[in-house]
């Protein structure tokens, strides 16, 4: 059981782990042992995720989520399987915990009258500066 928040817990049956050869450090074992972890979770089919969290994750545009809604995390930072497995699970929990917090709705505001005045004054000042750069005609 992977506990993310007090209300969100993901069962181990929902997580798929694959162990592959790691591109990272490993010494003599680097070409013999599969220490890197690919941890996958099917977001669309997961009964543990609340609908709001699922929608935020799928709408996030994260490159680790494929077309079918499967989130895959690759962990190969460490030399051992256990540490990479723990790292992948911690990263998955952090990602879901971040998505569980609803974004604060934006409150539309208007610029103040003084801000509008400053903006227009700056535009006039800038226009005068540019007009001074124009060539003087000999017609006068």
Place 114 in a pLDDT band, splitting at 50, 70 and 90: very high
Residue 30 is predicted with a pLDDT of 67
Q: H or E element: which one contains 120?
A: helix 113-132
Name the residue ranges covered by the structural domains of the chain.
2-100
User: 20 near 38, Cβ under 8 Å?
Assistant: yes
pLDDT of res. 112? 95
Instruction: Report the alpha-carbon distance of residue 121 to residue 136 in Å, rounded.
Output: 25
pTM recorded for the entire structure = 0.68
- Mean pLDDT calculated for residue range 83-93: 91
The highest-level CATH class for domain 2-100 is alpha beta
Long-range contacts at 99-104 (CB < 8 A, ≥ 24 apart): 99/53, 99/56, 99/57, 99/60, 100/4, 100/5, 100/8, 100/50, 100/53, 102/52, 102/56
pLDDT at 20 over 60: yes
Determine the pLDDT at residue 109. 92
pLDDT band of 87, cuts 50, 70, 90: very high
Task: Retrieve residue 74's tokens.
Answer: 């690759």
């Amino acid at each position: 059981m992977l506990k993310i928040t007090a209300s969100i817990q993901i069962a181990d049956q929902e997580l798929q782990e694959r162990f592959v050869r790691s591109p990272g450090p490993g010494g003599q074992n680097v070409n013999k042992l599969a220490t890197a972890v690919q941890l996958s979770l099917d977001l669309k089919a997961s009964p543990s995720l609340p609908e709001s969290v699922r929608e935020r994750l799928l709408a996030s545009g994260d490159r680790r989520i494929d077309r079918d809604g499967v989130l895959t995390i690759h962990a190969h930072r460490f030399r051992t399987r256990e540490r990479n497995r723990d790292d992948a699970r911690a990263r998955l929990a952090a990602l879901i915990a971040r998505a569980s917090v609803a974004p604060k709705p934006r409150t539309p505001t208007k610029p103040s009258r003084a801000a509008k005045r400053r903006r227009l004054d700056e535009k006039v000042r800038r226009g005068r500066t540019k007009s001074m750069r124009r060539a003087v005609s000999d017609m006068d």
